[in-house]
Amino acid sequence: MSLSYELAKELKDAGFPQLGNGYALIVDNPALFDNEADRTCTEISWERYVLNPNEKYGPTLYSPTLEELILEVYKFSHEVCLQSLRDVPNTWAAATCWGNGYEDDWQRGKTPVEALAKLWLTLSRENAELAQ
C-alpha cells in the first residue's frame, strides 16, 4: 500500500530519494486537484512508469516501499521500532528506538509505510536543524 499524494510530496520536498521499487502516484484530474474532494490518484509500479515514457501521465510522485523507508530511516538511527497498536485499531507507530517511552517520540499512521514516512520526515527535519 502506498502513501497519500500529500505525504509523498512532503517526502520529495524533504529530499527523500525519488526512485526505487515503489509506486508512482499519478494525479487523476490535475485541473481539479486543488479541490480537496478531487485529490484522487492512480497507483502504478514505478518500473512501469519509468519504462513507458511515451504514456501521458499527470503530475506524479514517488511512493517508497516499506523496505526503502526502513533503510532510509536506518541512515538516521540504527534502532528502528515499528509496531501495530492493539489499543488503537488500524494504527501503526514508528520510532528510532524503545528509548524513553515518551509518546511524542512515536510517529503514527494508518499503515506501517505511513508511520515510517512520518518518522523519516521528523528525523530529516531534526538532522537539518542540527546541521545549521
How far apart are alpha carbons 26 and 47 in whole angstroms?
14
| pLDDT confidence bin for 99, thresholds 50/70/90 | low
Looking at the DSSP bridge assignments, the partners of residue 113 are none
3-state DSSP helix/strand/coil percent for the chain, to nearest 5? 40, 20, 40
Portion of the chain with pLDDT greater than 90, in percent: 43
In the prediction, which pLDDT does 103 show?
Answer: 53
For residue 51, what are the contacts with CB-CB under 8 A and spacing of at least 6?
none
Average model confidence (pLDDT) for the chain?
A: 84
The domain segmentation of the chain, as residue ranges, is 5-63, 66-131
pLDDT for 49-91, tens place per residue? 888 877 777 778 899 999 999 999 999 888 888 999 988 989 9
Q: By the 8 A CB rule, do 120 and 94 touch?
A: no
pLDDT score of 32: 55
**38 has pLDDT over 60:** no
Q: Which residues contact 40 (CB under 8 A, 6 or more apart)?
A: 27, 28, 29
Number of H helices, E strands in the chain: 4, 6
* Mean local confidence (pLDDT), 97-111: 72
DSSP 40: -
